[in-house]
Amino acid sequence: MSSVTDINGRELALDPEGYLQDFDAWTPDTARALAAIEGMELDAAHWEIVELLREFYRQFAQSPAMRPLVKYVGQQLGADKASSIYLLRLFPGSPAKVAAKIAGLPRPEHCL
């Protein structure tokens, strides 16, 4: 287990893959610190997805893999944002995994 220090100086426990261990310990400053580890700076489009992911987790008690994430984004934000290409531009590599990490969610199951 490792840890990250967020912008307010709080030390937060991470699992070996860098995911926050306590969903309720997350704050926007935590997201900024986790995004910085990923080499990212969050803008309004990122925050929209991060907040959506946190809502998904509250509803379904799991982190969505890519297909369910794209579907949920479409349902909540509209068809123009419901594509893996849009999410890849925001969260390069594996959008479901990277976005979940920044949102303070566990690693999505069934994600490569």
Q: Which residues are catalytic?
A: 111
Give the three-state DSSP class for 17. coil
CA 93 to chain centre: 13
- H or E stretch including 98? helix 95-102
- H or E stretch including 22? none
